[in-house]
Amino acid sequence: MPSHPKPSRIKVGEHRARLRAQGLRPIQIWVPDVRAASFKAEARRQALAVAHSPDAGDDQAFIDAISDRGDE
């Protein structure tokens, strides 16, 4: 009598039931597709705008001041 593996939908359902029993719930998050050409173009546009801003030095000093680079 050969054993039959469980179908994927059953395994996924059981996995989700275990997670729910731990007090978790599933959510769906949509994030920008960083591989898209439109994302890359917009990121570049914004980076250039910041870099060429009259306040670029002050902005970078602020970022440096609040960043934890782990070198301390």
| Per-residue pLDDT, 2 | 64
Domain boundaries, the chain: 32-72
Return the exposure string of 2-28: e unless at least 16 CB atoms fall within 10 Å of the residue's CB, then b.
eeeeeeeeeeeeeeeeeeeeeeeeeee
Tens of pLDDT, residue by residue, the chain (72 residues): 568 899 999 999 999 999 999 999 999 999 999 999 999 999 999 999 999 999 999 999 999 999 987 766
Residue showing tokens 């440096």: 64
